Homo-oligomer: A and B are copies of this chain.
Amino acid sequence: MSDALDVSLRLVRAQTALVKRFDATLSGLHGVSLADFTMLLRLRQAPGDRMRRVDLAEALGLTASGVTRGLAPLERIGLVTRETDARDGRVAYAALTDTGRARLTDMLASAEQIAAEVFTAPLWSKEDVGRLSTLLTRLGGTGLSGQGTPPP
């Protein structure tokens, strides 16, 4: 087996393990999944803590229906609200509530903690993390640090 295929399969394995770890802690402490957390975090990074749902889908690499299904429970428990656009009747926004912002702050602390544990010394140096980030960025995953899609 080539190195390229090997590393592909390795990546798949590594991710599922990582997701399990985040899910376990986040759901235990805050009752949300990593996917939930990622949605909330992405909203937090948008101006006004709100995004059109279709843009949220794009930013997260999901389909529109994935966003509908993913946001539903977050709306139900009051972390996110739906807002309409006065100019365009088609669009709906997803917006963080005050509660959502507050809860997200706690989740973020937990997530940082987990990430710090996973990428901890002595196995991981700061440079290693940077290298991994660089390499992963080449793989087309947009990541979340950016500001989203630039204006057309």
Q: Which secondary structure characterizes the binding site on chain A? A: helix
Is A99 interfacial (CB 8 A cutoff)?
no
Q: Are A17 and B135 in contact (CB under 8 A)?
A: no
Q: Report chain B residues within 8 Å CB of A38.
A: 9, 12
> How many copies of this protein are present in the complex?
2
**Interface size on A (CB < 8 Å)?**
55
Interface-facing stretch out of A73-81, A84-92, A112-120: A112-120
Q: How far is the CA of A114 from the CA of B8 in the complex (A)?
A: 10
Q: Report chain B residues within 8 Å CB of A34.
A: 12
Pick from B5, B139, B148: contact of A6, CB below 8 A.
B148
Distance from A135 Cβ to chain B, minimum over Cβ atoms (Å): 5
